[in-house]
Amino acid sequence: MPQLRKDPVTHEWVVIATGRGKRPSDFSSANNEDVTLRPQHIEKCPFCHGNESQTPPEVLAYRDPGTRPDTAGWWVRVVSNKFPALAIEGELDREGVGMYDYMNGVGAHEVIIETTDHNRCIATVGRKQATEVFWAARQRIIDLSNDKRFKYVLLFRNHGKIAGASLEHPHSQLIALPMVPKDISEEMRGVERFYEYHDRCIYCDMIRQERHFGKRVIEENDQFIAFEPFAPKFPFETWVLPKEHRASLTEEDPAAVSKFAEIVQNVLRRIGKCLNYPPYNYTLHTAPVNLERDPHPYFHYHLEIMPRLTIAAGFEMGTGVYINVTSPEDAAEHLRAVDISDMDSPVESTIITHA
């Protein structure tokens, strides 16, 4: 019998309908791609090494001492998006026309180029490189948060065409928004509601319950845990959370960011091996910024990794309720069983050895 499960934070219902009995191999499709089979360098790729003049100027780069901005010699590079969804210059200029409200699309839209190599990705680069990618994201979130016009900074990654990646070269993105977006407002409402009643963080409780139950946990290290949420919208949806209460990635030190990179890489490697390298998105849910009330006590940051194995269609679009054909308990069992030890210590890129 299908089951309806309620997300304890947002109170959204999800349908867990496992009747079609999907195994991981049933999800394999033409949209999957093992990026290690690509060429290492593509002449026309604006994000490949040596093509720095094809992007907008860099806003941050980790590069060899003595190399000039927007030239070769970097290993992580952040640039403005060439086709930004929001414009960095300008005032908000709120206005109403009859019953309608609008404002200028002020914000920031940046691209984090994660490696010089076209044939690697955040899952397969070395640990040091992955740590520096997240450290760069952390640095940009802090910097963008200093702009008082912004209320939220989102880090996200689109991997594969079907997951919305318009350029192949491994990259993630940052968007700063002038308002707290809908899904985060709802999450904030959920965590505040719980905090007011229990005087505890709901995610801290969730971690305790998941560790006790065990069947949805994928893995943990001394600082982070990865599990399938109780009411996942998507098959093999996986969350990564710090085990100690933290509201934002910006609160973490380099050692913690390295541990975060480790568990994220491990989960992505498990998903890749288990599901034949599917497209996916991940989004970092972190506390809003520049609020009047400090969200630290009740918000708990986490990364949501969502493989794109099924299609949201009319039902999801008309209700906001998702049908998930794989239970999180089954997904966790499959992901735990994956042996990723052969992917453990990939060679660091030649560039990073200069750092």
- For a second copy, the binding residues in 181-240 under the rule CB under 8 A are 181-184, 186, 202, 205-206, 209, 213, 230-231
Q: Which residue of 65, 313, 341, 345 would you call a contact of a second copy, by CB under 8 A?
A: 313
Query: Among all residues, which ones are annotated catalytic?
Result: 171
Q: Match 């899904």 to its residue by tokens.
A: 183
182-198 and 202-213 helices, crossing angle to 10°: 80
- Beta strand spans in 207-248 (E): 217-220, 224-227, 238-242
- Residues 151/152/153/154 CA torsion (nearest 10 deg): -160
- Which residue's CB is nearer to a second copy, number 45 or number 165? 165
What is the DSSP secondary structure assignment for residue 292, as one 8-state letter?
A: S
Alpha helices in 115-250 (DSSP H): 127-145, 182-198, 202-213
**Residue 306 near a second copy by CB under 8 A:** yes
**Residue 323 near a second copy by CB under 8 A:** yes
Q: Which residue of 57, 64, 85, 353 would you call a contact of a second copy, by CB under 8 A?
A: 85
> How wide is the angle at C-alpha 41 spanned by C-alphas 36 and 43, nearest 5°?
140
Phi first, then psi, for residue 225 (nearest 5°) are -130, 145
User: Taking the complex as a whole, how short is the minimal distance between the CB of residue 255 and a second copy, in angstroms?
Assistant: 26
User: Taking the complex as a whole, how short is the minimal distance between the CB of residue 4 and a second copy, in angstroms?
Assistant: 5
**Residue 70 near a second copy by CB under 8 A:** no
**Residue 309 near a second copy by CB under 8 A:** no
User: Taking the complex as a whole, how short is the minimal distance between the CB of residue 307 and a second copy, in angstroms?
Assistant: 12
User: Taking the complex as a whole, how short is the minimal distance between the CB of residue 212 and a second copy, in angstroms?
Assistant: 8
- Which residue's CB is nearer to a second copy, number 45 or number 163? 163
**Residue 169 near a second copy by CB under 8 A:** no
User: Taking the complex as a whole, how short is the minimal distance between the CB of residue 237 and a second copy, in angstroms?
Assistant: 10
Residue 187 three-state SS: helix
- Choices 43-51, 68-76, 157-165, 252-260; region in contact with a second copy by CB under 8 A: 157-165
List binders of a second copy among 235-294 (CB under 8 A).
281-285
Please check whether residue 206 is in contact with residue 198, taking contact to mean a CB–CB distance below 8 angstroms: no
| Residues ≥6 apart with Cβ < 8 Å to 183 | 10
- Which residue's CB is nearer to a second copy, number 126 or number 307? 307
